[in-house]
Structure 1
């Protein structure tokens, strides 16, 4: 049995990574059966914990056990999107026996801690908090029901639980981290527990680091400071005391700004995002320098090892056969879901990630005449697959998803899949010849899905944003929509420019190369596979966090 009274990471710790780290995140995508994630933030934190395990780092994760997960993506009778919430149960989580209370809205709420052992899915230890206990009233139980609950008070309670609750748990475990790492600002309430524990802001700052994933100020969590106070978010500190501690003015509490002002170090998640973040926050006083550590993904979990083996052996026949097999296996899932039988020999474009307006899922369909010609091109045939989860109350994003579903009914070579979680993500990356990524520049902080596509023989076709700026060599390991002076463009002009350039690259470069020069195509695919594991593998990222953020 694990000793939870004096908890230690239960594997051999490398001397390079001896500092104790507690990594707070609202979501973790560790493995398909553990459905406590929504999208990129979870995929990133999952890979971070896998690499921490592989490197022998003294790091544990702190998260929340979401009873209903994010949501289950199903369909209405007409194939359009239908969000569903089902209770999840996990036999592989260990009940730590730890129960304690946090105060929410002046009421004590019971919290139980569950444990994902490292050997279960080969990840660093993960502790998950739940309020779904019979000791609590129903409202308190619902705090840990739905990830990113749409109700404002529920969302605040979730952030309070992650921050103050997570920090309290660490005291009970007697883990005593050298570093508290906030992965996004959801857990910033932890600082008000740490203030009580260490006695001063200076002592808290010695131990706190912060990673921001949001390139827009408007995208950072903000709430009314008096509402937060009523909900006990500040752990007994008055509004005036909080304003003095955080430097907030007015009645709006900016979670990210508070995290920055309590952190000794901060980082963005790509080189470009670091620049954007420094520009975004430059007018604010008393924040640390914002560096960058480019997000990455875990090779052992994501990459198809046989594809790499055949590439290293320079066995062209087996390499091509393996890619065809990977496509066929994924197409069986697509056919089962949609009735569309895809051809593994046809160039396959995949757009799959979280549905958000700036990611422009439907961009390629906006010129419907050009799209129709592309879909009916007999000389250079293509097939396109979409997948991804909109936020369940983001009706604009759901409308885009549904528009694509209705459009797909006109084409046998177009499909829209549901249930985009880790397993389907991996299969669709293996199915992709082209991984389409067209966010509106510069709004993608990192965007790691293209990394794992490259690890499975998919070629990125992307706007010049996020991690792509550090990876892409146009026509050599990927294809890029040539950037323009977007700052001088209206949104409509930017979208029209990107759409036209996207078609030009696709029609004039990608399709002829794929069909007329298979050797050239294979060379491009394999260069992408080699280049992505050089810098964009999460062991490098996990090492950089220790070197740049955790070590004093």
Structure 2
């Protein structure tokens, strides 16, 4: 087996000696550039930052993902302003067809897979390969496997994970490349272990190579399938079921993908300190799992930060910092005006809630006590503007209803906007234009949640429940750098948690945030500068990419 990648796919640099060990990072989604629409949300944003920082640090890492022909979906508004999801074919002239073709078995049929290559120079990432089943040799069912990210049909979704896992492992063979480490970002690619078992006939050899990152603090969020259903789909790469049970330790008929990844890796990690604790607690009753550490998520500052704002901050030029932040707000408000016909004022405190719409993230929490919300929105002495954005999963009708409801509420307020098209470009604009970055998941439910990291890099203050990465940011220094809500007991009924968190949100806004912004501008900007200073270096993804080598690969 060759140890080096073929010439045309090699890294354009000499490896830093700390990062010589070869690793391959498997992820279902990567958010690398606005033009490459193969991601849905946080998992992809994180993976994209990792690939950029690995390149910046000269690491011996490559990425493997899937080329989603129709992406996640394009978000649009119907005639009545309710949300629509459009699945449209995408084309990318900057990806190279490698002419590598091979088959994997799905549902006992040979499915052809081809690989595209993203050159490191294109977006400043490590070398990356994207797999597709969109070939003339395949029938429509096989072709459509790589059309939509996270297909809602269970068989189709499992087939997608097989393209990533079995297909990704087979691609490495086709490249004659034998990496030291297989890194699974979430359990989607766990089928790769069966390809490796067929290759090495040794569980020990698999464990030696495998590391696993879990992002899901909820037991229910870890995918499970009936073992016979998976066997019928050829998930086990032709390995007889009794051998599969020996390899995985699954004795009943429920195949838990994360559990198998934990059993067949030599090391795993949660994505924040709290999430590491939650994960160890969650899996402690299961036998044979590997040690679980934590590596807190981070984002690539070089990509996310506004360079002029950062320059003013570094030069300690407050006047310039304030002027640039105002300009960034104006630029965001052009998007607001274009999408909604509302004119926002850059001198008014602007709150942004923008991330994937999911029930536990409670997008609409601030509006639930409607009388209080109304008085907040109609306060002319200390006015606010609020912007919501995010893409619900296209068949999560509860989340879509939540989006539609916020859109409906916004019709009555000239200072409330709901934006569509929350992808990399809009995400950057929102972070640069926000004064307050609102994040209110139920505590312990957010593994890490890093949208606030890049908001802080761009001079927005975090206003959050005490979950995920914010807990560490808050504890990093003894000085205040954000507004973090008191923790409510997460064992009480959720409606009670929601009520208490909502009361705390209104109280913090009325008693701390609004008076600080309007009455003590000097102290406001002191806080902004503290937040900008303390977010780096710890929450820049070069620290994270370095820790993956020191804690997981080496």
TM-score by length of 1: 0.98
Deviations 1:476-531 (A, max 9, x none): 210011113322x1111100010001110011000000000111000101111111
Equivalent position to 2:509, from 506, 509, 527 = 506
Q: Relative to structure 1, is the Cα distance of residues 372 and 6 closer, same or farther in structure 2, using a 3 angstrom cutoff?
A: closer
**3-state SS of 1:509 partner:** helix
Deviations 1:318-365 (A, max 9, x none): 111100000100110111011111111100000000000000000000
Q: Is the 8 A contact 2:5 2:176 kept in 1?
A: no
Aligned ranges 1:219-258 → 2 under 5 Å: 219-258=221-260
Q: Partners of 2:286 and 2:338 in 1: how far apart? A: 53
Q: Partners of 2:7 and 2:131 in 1: how far apart? A: 16
Equivalent position to 1:13, from 9, 15, 28 = 15
Aligned to 1:460: 462
Q: Relative to structure 1, is the Cα distance of residues 306 and 7 closer, same or farther in structure 2, using a 3 angstrom cutoff?
A: closer
**3-state SS of 2:212 partner:** strand
Equivalent position to 2:483, from 479, 485, 507 = 479
Q: Is the 8 A contact 1:6 1:173 kept in 2?
A: no
More deviation in 401-410 or 194-203? 194-203
Q: Is the 8 A contact 2:5 2:177 kept in 1?
A: no
Equivalent position to 1:281, from 278, 283, 294 = 283
Aligned to 2:77: 75
Aligned ranges 1:303-342 → 2 under 5 Å: 303-342=305-344
Q: Is the 8 A contact 1:5 1:174 kept in 2?
A: no
C-alpha deviation, 1:5, in angstroms: 7.5
C-alpha deviation, 1:313, in angstroms: 2.0
Q: Is the 8 A contact 2:410 2:417 kept in 1?
A: yes
Deviations 1:439-494 (A, max 9, x none): 0011000000000000111000000000011002698210011113322x111110
Aligned to 2:164: 162
Deviations 1:147-192 (A, max 9, x none): 0000111101001110000000011112211000000000000000
C-alpha deviation, 1:7, in angstroms: 4.8
Q: Is the 8 A contact 1:6 1:175 kept in 2?
A: no
TM-score by length of 2: 0.98
Q: Is the 8 A contact 1:5 1:172 kept in 2?
A: no
C-alpha deviation, 1:6, in angstroms: 8.2
Q: Is the 8 A contact 1:475 1:524 kept in 2?
A: no
1:527 maps to 2:530: yes
Q: Partners of 1:199 and 1:243 in 2: how far apart? A: 14
C-alpha deviation, 1:46, in angstroms: 0.2
Equivalent position to 1:385, from 384, 387, 391 = 387
Q: Partners of 2:98 and 2:450 in 1: how far apart? A: 33
**3-state SS of 1:52 partner:** helix
C-alpha deviation, 1:426, in angstroms: 0.2
Aligned ranges 1:99-118 → 2 under 5 Å: 99-118=101-120
**3-state SS of 1:390 partner:** coil
Q: Partners of 1:390 and 1:492 in 2: how far apart? A: 22
Q: Partners of 1:186 and 1:369 in 2: how far apart? A: 44
1:496 maps to 2:499: yes
Q: Partners of 1:175 and 1:530 in 2: how far apart? A: 42
Q: Relative to structure 1, is the Cα distance of residues 5 and 475 closer, same or farther in structure 2, using a 3 angstrom cutoff?
A: closer
Deviations 1:218-268 (A, max 9, x none): 100111111110111000112222122111132111000010000000000
Q: Partners of 2:318 and 2:161 in 1: how far apart? A: 51
Deviations 1:122-164 (A, max 9, x none): 0111100000011100100000000000011110100111000
Q: Is the 8 A contact 2:9 2:119 kept in 1?
A: no
C-alpha deviation, 1:3, in angstroms: 7.6
Aligned to 2:542: 539
Equivalent position to 1:296, from 295, 298, 302 = 298
Aligned to 1:445: 447
C-alpha deviation, 1:10, in angstroms: 3.2
Aligned to 1:121: 123
Q: Is the 8 A contact 2:10 2:127 kept in 1?
A: no
Cα RMSD (Å) of the superposition? 1.2
Q: Relative to structure 1, is the Cα distance of residues 293 and 338 closer, same or farther in structure 2, using a 3 angstrom cutoff?
A: same
Equivalent position to 2:420, from 418, 421, 432 = 418
Q: Partners of 2:440 and 2:412 in 1: how far apart? A: 23
**3-state SS of 2:542 partner:** helix
Q: Is the 8 A contact 2:460 2:528 kept in 1?
A: yes
Equivalences, count: 549
1:360 maps to 2:362: yes
| Unmatched segments (≥5 aa) in structure 1 | none
**3-state SS of 1:99 partner:** strand
| Unmatched segments (≥5 aa) in structure 2 | none
Q: Relative to structure 1, is the Cα distance of residues 443 and 548 closer, same or farther in structure 2, using a 3 angstrom cutoff?
A: same
Q: Relative to structure 1, is the Cα distance of residues 322 and 103 closer, same or farther in structure 2, using a 3 angstrom cutoff?
A: same
More deviation in 231-240 or 436-445? 231-240
Q: Partners of 1:12 and 1:389 in 2: how far apart? A: 40
Q: Is the 8 A contact 2:489 2:497 kept in 1?
A: no
